[in-house]
Structure formats: C-alpha cells, structure tokens
Chains A and B, each alone.
Chain A
Amino acid sequence: MEPEPPGGRGVIGLDEEATLVVVDYGAGNLRSVQRAIGAAGEQALVTSDRRDVERASALVLPGVGSANDAMKRLRALDLVEPLRAYAASGRPFLGVCVGLQLLFDWSDEGGGVDCLGIVPGTVRRFEADLAAGRKVPHMGWNSVHVTRPDPFVEGIADHSYFYFVHSYYAVPTNPADILGETQFGLPFAAMVARENVVATQFHPEKSADLGLRLYRNFAVRARGTATV
C-alpha cells in the first residue's frame, strides 16, 4: 500500500480547541473517516504529530490495507509508543478496520508482524471456501450481534448491518473483549471493547446512518470523559 503523505495538522470544523484526534499515517480511509466525523456533527484534528496524540482527549486510528504496512508507517512516524501510552492513559480510543487489527499483539499478515499489543490476541486470515460460497475478502454488508450494552452502541439495534472489507480477523484472547460478533463461516470479532478502547472491523464511515451514529456515540462519550 502506498502511503498518502501525512498532511501535518488540520482542524476539521470550527473549534480550534478540538481534541478529538484522527491519526494520519497515510491510511487510505483517512479522508472518509474525516468526512464521516464531520457529517456526524463532530470536529476532529487530523494529525501525524506525536505531540497531538499525547495531548488528545479522544483518538481515532483509521486503516485500510495491510497491517504490516500500517505498522511500518506508524514506526516511521514514531507513533507506536505514543499510541500505547495514550491507550494506557484511559482516554477514549477508537480503532477502525485495520485500526482494530493493529490493537492486537500480532497479525499473520505478510508473514507476520508485531502490532500495538493494546488488546491481547492475534489476527488471522480467512480461508476462502468456494464450495460453501465463501469468498475472501469478506466484502459487503453483514449483521453484527451486539453482545452487551455499551455507550458506543447506543441506538444500534442488535443484528444491524455494517459494511465490511477485510481478509483478516481478530481473535481476542479474552472473549469478554468482544462487543460485536459477525458470522462469516465462523463467528469473528466485528467490534472489540476493552476498558477505554473500542474498535470496529467494519467501516462505520461507509455504513450509512448507523455508521455515523457510532462516530457520534464515540465523540459524545469522549466529551463526557473529558469533563470528569
């Protein structure tokens, strides 16, 4: 995957004090995530500067493509330790698609790569099964079983549909970290939530109104945390 050149800093919306940070490491869906956050009525700071990560009151880690490339770029931008420290600080963290996979210890992609190690578990590849009609990538709208209540999924009915495009899936060591489960030959973690960290394997920014609702839920929760 070819990186978009990190664009430095840019505030979306009007509020100069915006502290919802979207990490810009050249992920292909960065702009879509930006647009969706804007359409959800929220403001964000798009940045590749580690000092902004350190200062953020809420953070979104987007991602499309391969986990190896993503880790390579996060390392090159010196963002790996700041992201780990941010997650450990208890502030709200949202990972999207590859941004979910990066949270885990390890991904099998491209011969294997160490990831951020924020949520215990590994990332594996789906096996295509033409006889069973299972094609990889898992591409399209699939339903998500919400396993427990959480402020992130407020207003989202159980078994709602979201848009997925991925060939790898996360296997959390602790099943209690799974917030949403989806069937694709086998059940896999469509949403993960552990303490202050939440993540979706699907693309909320491509999942119409329900996806925008998730960004809004995340931002609202983040503001709640910030005022405590």
Chain B
Amino acid sequence: MLTRRIIPCLDVSGGKVIRGVKFSADRVVGDPVELAAEYNRQGADELVFYDITASAEGRGLIMEVLERAAGEVFIPLTVGGGVKSADDVKALLRAGADKVSVNTQAVLDPAIIADGADRFGSQCIVLSMDVRWNGERGYYEVVTHGGRRPTGMDALEWARRGVELGAGEIVVNSIDADGTRAGYELTLTRLIAEAVPVPVVASGGANAPDDMYRVLTEGRADAALAASMFHYGDFTVDQAKRYLADRGVPMRQRARVPA
C-alpha cells in the first residue's frame, strides 16, 4: 500500500540550517548534511532543502549542500527557494536534487512550470504556494515574497492551473499557521488535496505528531512537511511515524538490512 510521507524541511541560509518563526527571528540550528543524514536514519521519507539565502554570493552554497547530501543520503531530495528559471532547475537537478519547487517565480511567470516540466519531466517540478486567509474578502489567497505580498489569486484555482501547466506535486504552505506550531491549516489543505489529481504536501504549523495525524486524515494530505517540530528535538521522525502507524495511517517502517 502506498504510504503517507513524513518530510523534514531544512531551511538553509548561507549553507547553514536555520528556522524562522513567521519568517523572522531566525535561529541557526545546524549543518544541513549532518541533519539530513540524521533524519534519514530516523526514517524520513524525503527531505526538503529550502534556500532562504538573501545574498547573491551565498546562493551557490546550496549546490554544495545538495552535492554533499546526495552522496550520503539515498532518499528523494527536493530543493526550493529563489528558483528563477528552468536553467536554475537544471543546475539544481544536476547538483543532486530529485525535485525542484517553484513558488514566487511561478506566480510572476507561470511558464517556468511548463518549461521545467517539458524539459525535465513533471515528476521533478513541485509547485509550492504560500497561502493566507483573506478575511476581508473571504477566500484563501496566494501570497509571495515570503508572505509579504498578496497576489489576489485564489489558492485552489492556482493549484489547478499549476497541475495543468505540468506540476507533479503541490506544496500548500499556510502562512497563518507557519512557524506558530499551532497545527496545520486543515480546511485549506483538504480543499486543495480533494481537487487536484497530483499529490499534495501540507506545510506550516506542525507542533506534534497529532497535527500530522489530523492533516493526513481530515486534511487528506498525501504528505506532511515539518521543520521546528523535528529540529528542536521535541519529536524524532521515527516517533512521529510510529504514532501515525499506531493510528492506522500507512507508514513506511524504518528499513533494516540484515548483514
């Protein structure tokens, strides 16, 4: 049976892992490749590296991180953050990424999705969207630039359009929930997961394995992504997966190879 996936996310800046709360107050938490190897040992199903490096000179460091990680960690690796063109996608795939996620640039120029999917295959193009509830007009609105800029675009329509253009997976990141550790945005996740024919990854707000349980059942997500919950050592990936498996969510058991 196809399992649900648990995906630790490593926010990388200048080659170091950091984690922001509501995109501010960054705290350095460690070496990305060491953390990646540790999460692999704990049974992570995939890993996401999200490059939040602001300076142009720091950006090349994500390539080194990927190359080192790909030589040590043999599970799928996704990278995102600051991807501006299909040539960027190509460079990241060459460095060792299996999938590349596009976010702000896809809003500015949706052709990057089609171009990337045509050149490298839908399976490696992930559309990641930051979404905030627009209380004034009563809809889920796509926002960009780390949550600072509203777009007027409806999240569900954007998800459908992304799939038409060739995205092979959708990451739904709730800005309202991100970094608050108050649980995933279940209504938003379910709305999109039930509407698109590709896998949906829930992101933003994970605090405990029960949040994952809720987003993978009520929220209908195919995968749950988390950062702080794992980085600060509150829960291991293994603990989260055992919690979920005990409650009937299909999970990959940690691999053990007989000598």
Q: Is the beta-carbon distance between A28 and B124 smaller than 8 angstroms?
A: yes
Residues of chain A lying within 8 A (CB to CB) of residue B94: 4, 31
A182-221 residues at the B interface, CB under 8 angstroms: 183-184, 205-213
B158 to chain A, nearest CB (A): 18
Asked, given contacts A65-B120, A136-B197, A137-B198, whether A32 binds B70 with beta carbons under 8 Å apart, the answer is: yes
Q: Is the beta-carbon distance between B223 and A206 smaller than 8 angstroms?
A: no
How far apart sit A64 and B196, CA to CA, in the bound complex (Å)? 23
Stretch in contact with the other chain, from A44-52, A75-83, A115-123, A155-163: A155-163
B1-40 residues at the A interface, CB under 8 angstroms: 1-5, 40
Asked, given contacts A161-B255, A163-B76, whether A139 binds B3 with beta carbons under 8 Å apart, the answer is: no
B170-210: contact bitstring with A at CB < 8 Å (1 yes, 0 no)? 00000000000000000000000010111100000000000
Q: Is the beta-carbon distance between B257 and A155 smaller than 8 angstroms?
A: yes
Stretch in contact with the other chain, from A85-93, A100-108, A140-148, A173-181: A140-148
Q: Is the beta-carbon distance between B199 and A135 smaller than 8 angstroms?
A: yes
The A interface, classified by DSSP as helix, strand, loop or mixed, is: mixed
Q: Is the beta-carbon distance between B124 and A212 smaller than 8 angstroms?
A: no
Residues of chain A lying within 8 A (CB to CB) of residue B145: none
Asked, given contacts A1-B120, A64-B123, whether A142 binds B74 with beta carbons under 8 Å apart, the answer is: no
- Which among B3, B197, B199 is the interface contact of A161 at CB below 8 angstroms? B3
B115 to chain A, nearest CB (A): 10
A9 within 8 A of B: no
Q: Is the beta-carbon distance between A39 and B119 smaller than 8 angstroms?
A: no
Residues of chain A lying within 8 A (CB to CB) of residue B61: none
How far apart sit A38 and B256, CA to CA, in the bound complex (Å)? 20
Q: Is the beta-carbon distance between A155 and B2 smaller than 8 angstroms?
A: no
A188 to chain B, nearest CB (A): 12
A124 within 8 A of B: no
Residues of chain B lying within 8 A (CB to CB) of residue A128: 197
Residues of chain A lying within 8 A (CB to CB) of residue B257: 155, 209-210, 213
The number of chain A residues with a CB under 8 A from chain B is 43
Q: Is the beta-carbon distance between B2 and A140 smaller than 8 angstroms?
A: yes
Q: Is the beta-carbon distance between B90 and A139 smaller than 8 angstroms?
A: no
- Which among B2, B5, B120, B255 is the interface contact of A28 at CB below 8 angstroms? B120
How far apart sit A31 and B4, CA to CA, in the bound complex (Å)? 27
A217 to chain B, nearest CB (A): 11
B169 within 8 A of A: yes
Residues of chain B lying within 8 A (CB to CB) of residue A205: 74
Q: Is the beta-carbon distance between B255 and A208 smaller than 8 angstroms?
A: yes
Q: Which of B1, B40, B124, B258 is the most central at the interface, judged by chain A CB atoms within 10 Å of its CB?
A: B1
Residues of chain A lying within 8 A (CB to CB) of residue B3: 140-142, 161
Residues of chain B lying within 8 A (CB to CB) of residue A1: 119-121
Q: Is the beta-carbon distance between B124 and A39 smaller than 8 angstroms?
A: no
B12 to chain A, nearest CB (A): 20
Q: Is the beta-carbon distance between A135 and B222 smaller than 8 angstroms?
A: yes
A63 to chain B, nearest CB (A): 11
Residues of chain A lying within 8 A (CB to CB) of residue B194: 130
Residues of chain B lying within 8 A (CB to CB) of residue A184: 2
B253 within 8 A of A: yes
Q: Which of A36, A161, A205, A209 is the most central at the interface, judged by chain B CB atoms within 10 Å of its CB?
A: A161
- Which among A39, A130, A142, A208 is the interface contact of B75 at CB below 8 angstroms? A208
Q: Which of B1, B93, B121 is the most central at the interface, judged by chain A CB atoms within 10 Å of its CB?
A: B121
B146 to chain A, nearest CB (A): 27
B101 within 8 A of A: no
How far apart sit A32 and B258, CA to CA, in the bound complex (Å)? 24
B243-259: contact bitstring with A at CB < 8 Å (1 yes, 0 no)? 00000000011011110
How far apart sit A2 and B91, CA to CA, in the bound complex (Å)? 13
A24 to chain B, nearest CB (A): 14
Residues of chain A lying within 8 A (CB to CB) of residue B135: none
Asked, given contacts A28-B124, A35-B70, A64-B121, whether A206 binds B75 with beta carbons under 8 Å apart, the answer is: yes
A61-80: contact bitstring with B at CB < 8 Å (1 yes, 0 no)? 00011100000000000000
A43 to chain B, nearest CB (A): 16
With A31-B96, A206-B98 given, name 7 new contacts (CB 8 A): A28-B93, A36-B74, A135-B196, A137-B123, A139-B199, A206-B74, A210-B255
